Chain A
Amino acid sequence: MTILVVVAVILVVIVGSQLLKIAELRAASKGELIYEITEKEGKLHGLTMFAGFFVFMGFFFWQMWAWYGLKLPVSASTHGVDTDFLANLTYVIITPVFILTHAVLLYFCFKYAYSSTRKALFFSHSNKLELIWTTVPSLALTVLILYGLTSWNSIMTPIPEETDHVLIEVTGQQFTWTARYAGEDKKLGRSHVTLIEGVNATGVDAADENSKDDKLVKGEFHLPVNVPVQFVFRSLDAIHGAFMPHFRSQMNCVPGLKTQWNMVPTITTEEMKKITGNPDFNYVLMCNKICGAAHYNMQMDIIVESQEDYDKWLAEQKTFIE
């Protein structure tokens, strides 16, 4: 088999070389140089380029048509709605730019393909034109930057202490997630890697008053709808990325650091099942920073439900001290 492939490759190379040599000799016999592009060939190139524009745009719109439905459903968090709007605004600006510049580029290729009867225009600069295409992008950018920074700052502002919220610490380690609820006192107890022992897999400090009523869960964690959630992220080994795509939320988990994230979930899992028409739908927390061999399978389910269901579920969970 291998020998057959090698022989075939050698044959192809030999035949290819001979064809090239023949083509060259034929051109030479007609008094032409094989590497010179004739006017006819040039026109054909220009035409292909222009046709390429329609093929390219066809491909672009076909993808939009075929795959638009596969994108993430409507954002299930308040800030996500805001950033989705900004994203759409950006697309409204960049899609026409993308299409028009390609139209111009490929039309020029067609229109100005080489002709021996025409002279190219000696046109080397124009301050006016340069000024236009420095200013116009600048203006568009100003809008995007201002909107983006406003959103960014409001997203990154931590929830004030006095606001009613859920406090959760999420710890990543190869290749699993653990969530810890702050419990009744709304305070997370101290934790450190040196305290990891047996079932205490994330190193919670049992001596700390605040940890006594903390609740650790694995596999899935629940969130009440319409209540702000303050996340604290930790990692025990490599850098992990806590990615919750349906909430447009993402933050890295860095060993030795505590990172933060906050969001307000607005759609319960049940409601989202209806919106997506998928009875098996589940929110998910996935790892999005390369962290080792099983990086592709580091997940935890998220259940968003009403306050009552949430309270009921939380009451069933054991506290750390138990």
Chain B
Amino acid sequence: MSTHHHHAKDFLFTYVFSQDHKMISKQFLVTGFLMGFLGLVMSTLFRLQLGWPGESFEIVELLMGSWAEDGVMAPDKYLALVTMHGTIMVFFLLTAGLSGTFSNLLIPLQVGARDMASGFLNMLSYWFFFISCMLMLASLFVEGGAASAGWTIYPPLSALPQAIPGSGTGMTLWLVSMSVFIVSSLLGSLNYIVTIFNLRTKGMTFTRLPLTIWAFLLTAILGVLSFPVLLAAALLLVFDRSFGTSFYLSDIYIGGQVLDHSGGSPILFEHLFWFLGHPEVYIVLLPALGITSEIISTMSRKPIFGYRAMIGSMMAIAFLSFIVWGHHMFLTGMNPFLGSVFTFTTLLIAIPSAVKVFNYLTTLWKGNIVFTPATLFSVGLVSTFISGGVTGLILGNSALDIAVHDTYFVVGHFHIVMGLSAIFGMFAGVYHWFPKLFGRMMNNKLGTLHFWISIICAYGVFFPMHFLGFSGVPRRYYTNSEFPMFDDMLDINTLISMFAIGAFIGQLFFFFNFVYSAFRGPKAPQNPWKGNSLEWTSPVEHFHGNWYGEIPHVYRWPYDYSKVNAQGEYVYGEDFIPQTTPLGEDEKDGGH
């Protein structure tokens, strides 16, 4: 150990420009949560408008300033909030925050590597993400306000500042921020894939990888294949906006003026956008599914049921996600035959999804379930995955999509199946791997409280939205009061907003628990959940390299929980057998 301490330099390279995957993981986690908190605040603000349209709120004026004169937000600023909420939640919290945190933390630890393939690229990945966050936040303060064309930024709305003020500087910053974000995501994905393929420890075959790693691998592959296409789409949009090309624009009359764009088509943008956009749903969801698979198995003290079927279904979902993007565009006037094809491929996703749900249920069956907050959130994920998944059968069927397309039915569906499932997976992961991240334990009681408030309020917010959808209430409406047919729906909206406020308060318990436990929580033992996978064989304290001495070798799959011998006794006296334990003579690997 060096006796010279260069404190400033040490600090800089330990906490700021760290190349250690564990520190980068924490950086992603904290940045992601801070962004997520902003997204949450935004949603609570626009829920105030929707629940009590036109009413003045001091808090709205305080937070939104000139965007909300007299405490009532302006209609175009409502759209800015909706857009920023969507962008932040989908990309910054659930893509970078979720995948960035857990891929970084778990990939080297669970495959048995000292760090990522390239620590430098990994560090760049975080800092690009950070810059992208800053740019996105900066866009809130520019003239005209933040991007307001919805998180899908369809042109021409996003291309023409005449159409909505947010399509000026705000949209430019959005596009620059997303481009930087894409670079960050690609650098991350590159590292994840290569680390999993090339840096596994001795004995860590692909069929011995924990399901988390499989999920992160498929997520990274989806990212590498789909994010460049979004970059291409964004680039063409930049050219249309700033250099007068006509990729997406044609025959436009706006603000009393005919624009000289011709020959382009906004549909092209929709195709490019959703070619990323749909895989993006699974980029968000797969890590959460991987995390829960691991937690449900560990905490029910049972091997995950159908390990290979779980991998197979994740692969099927990942593959199908590339050939279903058209289901977002059934009503854009595209060829009806294509619509049929997309209906077929979309509904096929139900099969691997159903397999996953039934496998979760069977894993719990005859288990010995230890209810940590992580377990609670995992069960919550299974519930939201079911509740949100079944309505996919309505939306994915083109004939039925006509009636509910872009109504609150859609908002309810995707928030439950993608938003809630992913964030529950993320919470589960934080509670479960907190000892690994910070060397301390989180408080269970607060965690339990957080879970119950979250799930009750989340269902309270999103379940009634389906009923709004049945009544034909379109999404992204500043208020429904312009249509007499929606007058009866105000009560539902008010109820939803009350639950939204409840959900917001519930998250404060989590943030408090998180910060308190990170600094003052009880010290964690090395393997608090009696887990099998490799990360629990590394010491609690963090240092670059993960293991003192040699990296442990692996001899079995990670799900040997409650394995008994012919006499009905636990094989090694405990209900878990770490992957580093060599196979006994009459033992078979892989749950046989």
Say whether A269 faces chain B, with CB atoms less than 8 Å apart: no
Q: Is the CB of A105 within 8 A of B302?
A: no
> A245 with B472: in contact, given A87-B394, A292-B157, A296-B479 (CB under 8 Å)?
yes
> A148 with B402: in contact, given A21-B520, A94-B391, A290-B157 (CB under 8 Å)?
no
Say whether B134 faces chain A, with CB atoms less than 8 Å apart: no
Taking the closest CB of chain B, its distance from the CB of A180, in whole angstroms, is 16
Say whether B116 faces chain A, with CB atoms less than 8 Å apart: no
B563: chain A residues at CB < 8 Å are: 122
Say whether A90 faces chain B, with CB atoms less than 8 Å apart: yes
Q: Is the CB of A83 within 8 A of B464?
A: no
Say whether B34 faces chain A, with CB atoms less than 8 Å apart: no
Say whether A303 faces chain B, with CB atoms less than 8 Å apart: no
> A239 with B339: in contact, given A105-B383, A292-B164 (CB under 8 Å)?
no
Q: Is the CB of A112 within 8 A of B361?
A: no
Give the contacting residue for B562; candidates A13, A37, A120, A156; CB below 8 A.
A120
Say whether A152 faces chain B, with CB atoms less than 8 Å apart: yes
Taking the closest CB of chain A, its distance from the CB of B395, in whole angstroms, is 10
Q: Is the CB of A250 within 8 A of B520?
A: no
Say whether B368 faces chain A, with CB atoms less than 8 Å apart: yes
Expressed in whole angstroms, the Cα–Cα distance for A130 and B303 within the complex equals: 16
A46: chain B residues at CB < 8 Å are: 369, 371
Expressed in whole angstroms, the Cα–Cα distance for A251 and B570 within the complex equals: 63
> A144 with B347: in contact, given A21-B520, A296-B75 (CB under 8 Å)?
yes
Q: Is the CB of B444 within 8 A of A293?
A: no
Q: Is the CB of A144 within 8 A of B403?
A: no
A224: chain B residues at CB < 8 Å are: none
> A120 with B367: in contact, given A97-B390, A125-B305 (CB under 8 Å)?
yes
Q: Is the CB of B444 within 8 A of A34?
A: yes
Expressed in whole angstroms, the Cα–Cα distance for A253 and B405 within the complex equals: 14
A296: chain B residues at CB < 8 Å are: 75, 476-480, 482
Q: Is the CB of A255 within 8 A of B361?
A: no
CB-defined interface of A290-312 with B at 8 Å, one 1/0 digit per residue?
Answer: 11111111010000000000000
Q: Is the CB of A115 within 8 A of B474?
A: no
Say whether B365 faces chain A, with CB atoms less than 8 Å apart: yes
Q: Is the CB of B591 within 8 A of A124?
A: yes
Say whether B522 faces chain A, with CB atoms less than 8 Å apart: yes
Q: Which stretch (A160-168, A206-214, A280-288, A314-322) binds chain B?
A: A280-288
| Nearest neighbor of B519 in chain A, beta-carbon distance | A17
Taking the closest CB of chain A, its distance from the CB of B345, in whole angstroms, is 10
Q: Is the CB of A101 within 8 A of B308?
A: no
| Nearest neighbor of B246 in chain A, beta-carbon distance | A256
| Nearest neighbor of A35 in chain B, beta-carbon distance | B441
Expressed in whole angstroms, the Cα–Cα distance for A148 and B455 within the complex equals: 33
A258: chain B residues at CB < 8 Å are: 333
Say whether B489 faces chain A, with CB atoms less than 8 Å apart: yes
Q: Is the CB of B308 within 8 A of A125?
A: yes
B561: chain A residues at CB < 8 Å are: 120, 122
B302: chain A residues at CB < 8 Å are: 120-123
- Which of A20, A236, A251, A255 gathers most chain B CB within 10 Å? A255
Q: Is the CB of A256 within 8 A of B251?
A: yes
Q: Which stretch (B18-26, B213-221, B350-358) binds chain A?
A: B350-358
B361: chain A residues at CB < 8 Å are: 101, 104-105, 108
> A112 with B516: in contact, given A138-B351, A299-B482 (CB under 8 Å)?
no
How many residues on chain A are close to B (CB under 8 Å)?
Answer: 119
Say whether B366 faces chain A, with CB atoms less than 8 Å apart: yes
Expressed in whole angstroms, the Cα–Cα distance for A123 and B361 within the complex equals: 12
Q: Which A85-113 residues have a C-beta within 8 angstroms of B?
A: 86-87, 90, 93-94, 97-98, 101-102, 104-106, 108-109, 112-113
> A193 with B522: in contact, given A118-B368, A237-B163, A248-B402 (CB under 8 Å)?
no
| Nearest neighbor of A80 in chain B, beta-carbon distance | B403
Q: Which stretch (B173-181, B261-269, B543-551) binds chain A?
A: B261-269
Expressed in whole angstroms, the Cα–Cα distance for A260 and B331 within the complex equals: 10
Q: Which stretch (A65-73, A182-190, A215-223) binds chain B?
A: A65-73
Q: Which stretch (B91-99, B233-241, B252-260) binds chain A?
A: B252-260
Give the contacting residue for B75; candidates A56, A196, A248, A293; CB below 8 A.
A293
Give the contacting residue for A156; candidates B75, B336, B478; CB below 8 A.
B336
Q: A49-B379, A290-B157 given. 6 additional CB < 8 A pairs?
A: A37-B370, A72-B471, A120-B561, A145-B343, A152-B336, A193-B253
Interface residue ranges, A against B (CB under 8 Å): 13, 16-17, 20-21, 23-24, 33-35, 37, 41-42, 45-46, 48-49, 52, 56, 59-60, 63, 67, 70-72, 80, 82-84, 86-87, 90, 93-94, 97-98, 101-102, 104-106, 108-109, 112-115, 118-126, 129-130, 133-134, 137-138, 141, 144-145, 148-149, 151-153, 155-157, 173-174, 192-194, 196, 203, 233, 236-239, 241, 243, 245-246, 248-252, 254-260, 280-282, 284, 286-297, 299
Interface pairs (28), CB distance under 8 Å: A20-B446, A24-B522, A83-B400, A90-B393, A113-B369, A118-B368, A119-B368, A119-B568, A120-B300, A122-B302, A122-B562, A122-B563, A124-B306, A148-B397, A155-B402, A174-B163, A193-B252, A233-B333, A239-B266, A255-B249, A255-B252, A259-B332, A281-B485, A284-B483, A290-B476, A293-B75, A295-B477, A299-B483
